[in-house]
Structure 1
């Protein structure tokens, strides 16, 4: 099963218990008529999958639905659901570059030292 949307929140990894169980939660907001804010948990080695993602990114997350039963000391039975992530993919693909190399931002160019306004160029405009 997959969930698509925008990352609203990414928590830090938390460790529980003596055996070092790890869990990291994120919230993805779906983009539909009635947007849903879905809490998705990543556990153990899957926590590290979130390291390269940030709030605001469009993602597709592979998830499993988990459910469990719990019986209270008073004998009352309750049920809990969770959404567990196991894969995440960035949906904001880079624009195709064709055969041209990427151009650095303008502020990364060094100023020309030998620039002369009077020099002729062959540009048609």
Structure 2
């Protein structure tokens, strides 16, 4: 699978265990510029270096695999997790058609929906 977007954040290398390391990449994906999605990709082990030469705002194409796995807790309840595992990142050259796609600066900032303010609930349902 592939997706095109703009680099929003390049995570630091995480040494999870002595033999396992990973790194995250957040890509701003704007199929509809009014509703930007922030997609988290991960790279593990020898692939963590594919994010090395990326800068915030660069347009990229990420090639990735979709992975899923179950996890069962002590009470026997099973939860399922998905991961987007990047295996290649290609920088896209600016083709001069900037009017066709909005720039990174034009994308709205991510909104923190974790605040617990009681008066700011404007959802219609």
Q: TM-score, normalised by structure 2?
A: 0.71
Match of 2:87 in 1: 86
Which sits farther off after the overlay, 10-19 or 71-80? 10-19
Local SS of the residue matching 2:52? helix
Greater C-alpha Rg: 1
1:46 aligned counterpart, secondary structure: helix
Matched, 1:53 2:48: no
CA RMSD of aligned residues (A): 1.5
Q: CA deviation at 1:94?
A: 8.3
- Contact preservation (8 Å) 1:16, 1:22: yes
Hey, what does 2:3 align to over in structure 1?
3
Matches within 5 A, 1:1-125: 1-19=1-19, 21-33=20-32, 34-92=35-93
Hey, what's the Cα distance between the residues in 2 that align with 1:24 and 1:18?
A: 15
Count of residue correspondences = 94
Runs of 5+ unmatched residues, structure 2: 97-125
Give, in whole Å, the separation in 1 of the partners of 2:36 and 2:17: 35
Whole-angstrom CA distance in 1 between matches of 2:95 and 2:47: 25
The separation in 2 between residues aligned to 1:25 and 1:85, in whole angstroms, is: 9
CA distance in 1 between counterparts of 2:22 and 2:74 reads 26
**Separation (CA, whole Å) in 2 of partners of 1:18 and 1:43:** 13
